[in-house]
Amino acid sequence: MGLTGIQIFKLLPKTNCKECGSPTCLAFAMALAGGKAELDKCPYVSDEAKATLSEASAPPIRGVVIGTGDKAKKVGEELVFYRHEKTFLNPTAIACLVTDAMDDAEVDAKIDNLNNVQFERVGLTLEADLLAVRCVSGDAGKFEALVKKALGATEKGLIIMADDFAALEAGAKAASGKGALLYAATADNCDQVAALAKETGASVVAKGASIEEVADFTGKIVSGGVKDIVIDAGARDIKSMFYNDNQIRRAALKAKNRDLGFPTIDLVCDMTDDPYKEAMLASLAIAKYGAIVVMSDIDKERMLPLFVQRLNIYTDPQRPMVMDEGIYEINKPGPDSPVIITTNFALTYFIVAAEIEASRVPTWLLIMDVEGMSVLTAWSAGKFVADAMAPFVVKSGIRDKINHNKIIIPGYVAQISGEFQEELGSDWEVVIGTREASDIPAFLKAL
């Protein structure tokens, strides 16, 4: 928010009606200034004030959505340089490149990889996001046919790339209404490309040979009615890519430069022919601060580390990934199935659950809310301890589902077994489980 609380207060109705949930208009203004309230909570703000406040509260880097439906991908809208300051919000979109110089088999193989290379991790599906379709033939008809083929072959958003305006126009019109990203508007054709984007409901890449060149005409694209812009400042090597992405974010966040307040695109596919160098460049772009990375292929061996890196960087460091507290059924447990208790740290859950699944032993897994801490951390914080665990076990209702009295605790908290037994009462038997999750299958089979 660029305005102070007092400046915002001057634009509010000052009736102190409390409908926004704040006791006074001043309190609401202060909450707005601190980013703790939404403007639409006040139903009485005038349209004029709304326009002023919305402009002032717009994120310093514009959020741009590419594609439509479930597979639409948002990039940009970042607020900080370092994720420990707050968090990074919209993970770098990874795109796969196809061109109209490729034969059908090659295009099909790449789109197949884009659609199907996926990994499951901590309950999330890790996958690539966009298809970049490039015209290299200069033949508008051929390019249009490729765009149409792409639209039928993937639900992911398209980046439509052509130097020749006639080809760009043919591709954009074929993808009209699909939320495509047009690549690219330059200083020479930005009016024409902005009009095409407006007509087809697309966003636009502003492309120049330098940051300064791009900054000179993004305002013209906005004036042309297209606010959703992505920047390509011409980097085609590692040093300039790193420099451009950093400087553009710095200009947007620190200098509040609206001409550069847009996400960036890095064409790492054009920087090397070596697939491993390309992966390394993509890794750098994901870390600092590429919003879209275009790669030559989405193959499993390069994607797994990139997806995991992206997941790690874009996971909020201040909010642990947690599971809901409750009883989880694994391998269809019955009344005589064992009961294991552990914490709601997502990684703990998925590791333990995967080992139980692998054992094929039907098991009840009791997940206790300890604010997302791992077993030892929660124990040392006084949260995964006997007098907290016992009431949870009773309240969980697990006793109604079983015909025995055994509950298995993680081996790392073996020291609480006596106290836990006491808290639960004599009708329970506490069993010490394994320290390592990898030993769970053998442990369960031996029960």
- List the interface residues with ligand SF4, window 351-370 (CB under 6 A): none
* Residue 211 binds ligand SF4 (CB under 6 A): no
Min separation Cβ 58 and ligand SF4, Å = 20
User: DSSP code of 92?
Assistant: P
* Of 8-16, 136-144, 363-371, 428-436: span binding ligand SF4 (CB under 6 A): 8-16
* Residue 15 binds ligand SF4 (CB under 6 A): yes
Would strands 157-161 and 181-185 be described as parallel, antiparallel, or unpaired?
A: parallel
Its sign, for the CA torsion 195, 198, 201, 205, is positive
Min separation Cβ 44 and ligand SF4, Å = 5
Q: How far is CA 332 from CA 335, 361, 365, 443, in A?
A: 10, 9, 11, 18
* Residue 19 binds ligand SF4 (CB under 6 A): yes
Phi, psi of 170 (to 5 degrees): -65, -45
44/276 with CB nearer ligand SF4: 44
* Residue 236 binds ligand SF4 (CB under 6 A): no
SS3 157: strand
Report the run of H or E that residue 439 belongs to, with start and end. Answer: none
* Of 19-27, 176-184, 212-220, 437-445: span binding ligand SF4 (CB under 6 A): 19-27
Contact between 24 and 16 (Cβ < 8 Å):
yes
Contact between 405 and 427 (Cβ < 8 Å):
yes
Min separation Cβ 26 and ligand SF4, Å = 8
Contact with ligand SF4 (CB under 6 A) among 12, 93, 132, 279: 12
- What mask, x for binding ligand SF4 by CB under 6 A, covers residues 20 to 59? x-x--x--x-------------x-x---------------
Which residue blocks in 139-271 are alpha helix, DSSP H?
A: 140-153, 165-174, 190-200, 211-223, 238-253
Task: Give the bridge partners for 98, in sequence order.
Answer: 133
42/268 with CB nearer ligand SF4: 42
Min separation Cβ 2 and ligand SF4, Å = 19
Cβ neighbours of 324 (radius 10 Å) = 9
Phi, psi of 390 (to 5 degrees): -60, -50
* Residue 13 binds ligand SF4 (CB under 6 A): yes
Q: From CA 80, how far away is CA 61, in angstroms rounded?
A: 10
17/358 with CB nearer ligand SF4: 17
Helices 211-223 and 190-200: crossing angle in degrees, nearest 10, is 50
* Of 16-24, 162-170, 191-199, 366-374: span binding ligand SF4 (CB under 6 A): 16-24
Min separation Cβ 12 and ligand SF4, Å = 5
Binding residues (CB under 6 A) for ligand SF4: these are 12-13, 15-20, 22, 25, 28, 42, 44
